[in-house]
Amino acid sequence: MSEASALPALPELPGIATASVRGQLVYHPSAEQYLAAVEALREASFNMCSDLCGVDYLRHPGRELPAAVKPERFEVVVQLLSFDRAERVTLRLQVKESEPACPSISRLYPGAEAMEREAFDMFGIVFLQHPDLTRILMPEDWEGHPLRKDYSPGRVPVQFKEAPGPR
């Protein structure tokens, strides 16, 4: 594309492990680098946060990561989209099991607000400085975070003789 040369180059993000997966750039920032990286990408014409979701790697420990990145149990995956470049980049942030918290990007991308609420609701990842971090899909009084791998899906009692009762 000839227009691409007129666009600002993808920002140099020093110290951030980068990988290219299926032709798409994936950044692996640490928790400290995360906000600055998102802000730099936002300046470089990535004007929409198209998706943000959590992943629980509890039962899938051997995933492929750049050597510099220490795998943790949770991951927050952000997809940023640039209209001018017609391009996506992915950010994968490792979140510790002992302290499931990471900064919120809803100040930079207000559209990420509901998605962060969903990730909080489903995985219990706390997004610091989020304006309204409440459960979004589950009822307020729900206990546990359903998409965690150690959260049992539960059972529905069936009407058979000698059937076990509800968990």
Partner 1 sequence: MSPTPGRRAAEVARRDEELAHETSEGAQELSERAETNEEELLIEEGAILRLPEGLVLDPGDVDVEFGEDETMIINMGPQHPSTHGVLRIMMELEGETVLRSKPVIGYLHTGMEKTAEELFYIQGATNVTRMDYLSPLHNELVYSLAVEELLGIELPPRASWIRMLMCELNRISSHIMWTATNGMDLASTSMMIYGFREREMVLSFFEKVTGLRMNHNYIRPGGVAADLPDGWEDDVQALVDTIPGRIDEYDELLTGQPIFRERTEGVGVLGPELATAMSATGPILRASGVPWDLRRSMPYLYYDQVDFDVIVGTVGDTFDRYAVRLNEIRESCKIVAQILEKMPEGDYRCQDKKVTPPPRARIDESMEALIHHFKLFTRGFEVPPGEVYTAVESPRGELGCYMVSNGTSKPHRMHIRGPSFVNLQSLPAMLRGGLIADAIAVISSVDPVMGEVDR
Binding site for partner 1 (CB under 8 A): 21-22, 24, 47-51, 53, 55-57, 59-60, 63-64, 77, 79, 83, 86, 88, 90, 92, 106-107, 109-115, 118, 122, 131-132, 134-141, 146-147, 153, 161
Q: What is d(CA 89, CA 58) in angstroms, rounded to the nearest whole number?
A: 25
Under 8 Å CB-to-CB from 5, ≥6 apart: which residues? none
CB of 26 to partner 1, least distance (A): 8
Q: What is d(CA 21, CA 15) in angstroms, rounded to the nearest whole number?
A: 19
CB of 146 to partner 1, least distance (A): 6
Residue with Cβ nearer partner 1 (37 or 133) = 133
CB of 68 to partner 1, least distance (A): 18
Q: What is d(CA 82, CA 94) in angstroms, rounded to the nearest whole number?
A: 24
Residue with Cβ nearer partner 1 (14 or 153) = 153
Residue with Cβ nearer partner 1 (68 or 114) = 114
CB of 77 to partner 1, least distance (A): 6
Residue with Cβ nearer partner 1 (12 or 119) = 119
Return the bridge partners of 103, or none.
128
State phi, psi for 41 to the nearest 5 degrees. Answer: -70, -35
Give the amino acid at 52: L
Tokens of 155: 């059972």
Residue with Cβ nearer partner 1 (12 or 140) = 140
For 34, the enclosing helix (H) or strand (E) is helix 31-43
CB of 52 to partner 1, least distance (A): 9
Q: How many CB atoms lie within 10 A of CB 149?
A: 12
